[in-house]
Structure formats: structure tokens, C-alpha cells
Chain A
């Protein structure tokens, strides 16, 4: 759904950082709690980049698990649902360690000039 908007934003940033060079790989980091469907993001990426300087550029998605750390008992738990309770002691005094990432991690610039 909003994956198209995300891909447009990714393409804009990548073009800025490309410094006129061809980019053949983009790696993004998506947290488990971000509502992104990988298939849908990859499909949108093809749509968005088609006919542009980024056509054929590979999008690689790193899925980051959602992890909380319990302030009460110290245990780390990996969550499926955003129910912020320690799976060890049920405490709600937890800190979200990862799972909300929505980052462009890196781009591969080939050195070939495209603009």
C-alpha cells in the first residue's frame, strides 16, 4: 500500500547520494514493527525505478527483528506482536531495542557516470 511512497522516498535519497554515478544495489533495513510487506516493497521498487537511472538497481531488504529488553529482570525477548511485555516476567517496564527501523543502510556506486 504505502510501499510505493516508501520506494519513491528511497529513490529520491539514493539519487541524491549517487553523486552522478550508477548505483546497482541499495540495502534497506526494515524493523519488524514497521508495516512493510517485503514483496510489495520489491515490486514497488521495480515500478518506481523503471525507466529511470535506477532501472535494474537491486533492492536488498534486511528484516530486523523486534527485540525488547526488560528493565526489571534483564531478559531480552523477540516479539511478533507489538505487545510490549517481557516474555520472562511479564513486566511492562521494557525498552524497545530494535524493530522500528526504516533506514537506507547503504548504496553501491559503480563509478560509472550516468549524469
Chain B
């Protein structure tokens, strides 16, 4: 195991030695080494479990929607609200760093929208955690919803690390982002059950190699469902909505059969 620590002069070193008195025990100075072995995100995961229990109690299926900034989450949600009308009762929880721009854009389309500004959470500028999601749930009529979609903060790293109590993770990838993204952000691409490949209307104008992208995606996530879509033209919306109905049916059946199993905390196996 490589070890890192910071010296008082501010420099960071990596060491490969083992310290004396490795785990539990007393050192010469009378200092006591106490073994803790607690998950750093244990508190987040407890709150995520409470969210999950509330979703189960209200009978609502929850999807955590992630992407890099500007890939098209809000545009996709705008179309989703109208496309699902009459099929599923949809609610949206909008995670935004500091503005209400996305929430404003989604308001008035017929679905309840709850805004959570993440900069209120300390150090949480780059992702939604379970507590932030919980803080926005009170403003949604959960009992009257079938499906809740959480628009996470645009970021391909941090959101994948935080369980918020969702039933499924999905992401939007835009073809303007280049073919190598799955290899650069493998944890995010691995964590998602669905990858929406968006901005397909631009395909003719870019030298984007779709097959190359799909091959890269397959190496980090062989089982991801890929939905090719354009939030601009509406192409592919039917398949996206079908998946939402499907995940809704799947979790509703699991809910009826008993409590939802708690997924592993980590994105890789979660």
C-alpha cells in the first residue's frame, strides 16, 4: 500500500514503510491507537437508506440522472415531462450549484419541481448527497408521484460517489464530448444502468465516431443500456420513456415483494 501524508512544510510524500504499532495498541509516548474501521460515507449512507425507505413508503421510483455540465439533462427532462403525461406521475428534484435557472425552465410544465442549491451544503458544490436530496423531498408530493428524477450537478466524478437513495442511476452523454469520455471517467460510466447518448442531431456536423465511443463504453460497462437520442429533435424519446416505465414497473414489483434491497455503497458494484 502506498502511503501519503503532508509534512508541516506543506510537501506531500508517498511512503511505503509500515509504521510501528500498526493497528490497535499503545505507542511509547502513551498515545493509544484505536481501530475505527468505519466507512467514511456511513452517515451519508444512513440518510440514503432513510430516503429509500420514504420512497418505498410513498411508492415512488427514483432515478439519479447525472452528466457532465451541459450534456442535456434539463433539456431531456423538459421533454420527459410532456412525454410521460398520462403514463407516469413525474416529479423532479433539481440540484443546482447556486441558481434556479434549470428549475425555472422546468417549472410550469405540469410536474412538481423542487430545487436544492448545493452550495448550501459545505463542500458540496460538485454533487448532491443524501442529506441535500432529503432537504428537497419535503417540497414534493411524494405520495402523488410514480417517478422522481433527480437532476444531479453537472460533474462526471463526484456524483457517482454518493448514494442518495435512488433505485437506478442513469447518465446523459453528449456526442460533442468526444469518444474517450468513458475511459477518462470510468467510474461514472460503470455506475450507470442507462447511458443516454444525446445531441444526435449534431452527428452529421461532427467527426464523431459513434462505434468507437460505444466500444469504449463497453469496456467499462458491458451491460449498460444505450439510448440514442436528441433532446432537440425528440428522436429517441420513446425509448427513454419506455425505460422509465420499465424501471418503474420493476421497482414497484420489488417493493410489493418486500423491502428494497440496499445496494452496495460503491458505484462499481452498486
Question: What is the interface of chain A, defined by CB distance below 8 A to chain B?
Answer: 1-10, 12-14, 17, 24-25, 28-29, 33-35, 38-39, 42-46, 48, 58-65, 81-83, 92, 96, 99-100, 102-111
Contacts and interface: CB of A to CB of B under 8 A. Distances in A.
B247 to A, nearest CB: 23
B40 A13 contact: yes
Interface residues of B, number: 51
A42 B3 contact: no
Given A2-B157, A60-B3, A62-B3, A13 B123 contact: no
B162 interface: yes
Interface of B: 1-6, 12, 23-24, 27, 29-44, 121-127, 129, 155, 157-158, 160-162, 183, 186-187, 190, 219-220, 222, 265-266, 268-269
B158 A38 contact: no
Contacts of B2: 62-63
B30 A111 contact: yes
B1 A64 contact: yes
Given A1-B158, A2-B123, A111-B30, A103 B3 contact: no
Contacts of A65: 1
Contacts of A59: 5-6
A107 B123 contact: no
A108 B3 contact: no
A17 B268 contact: no
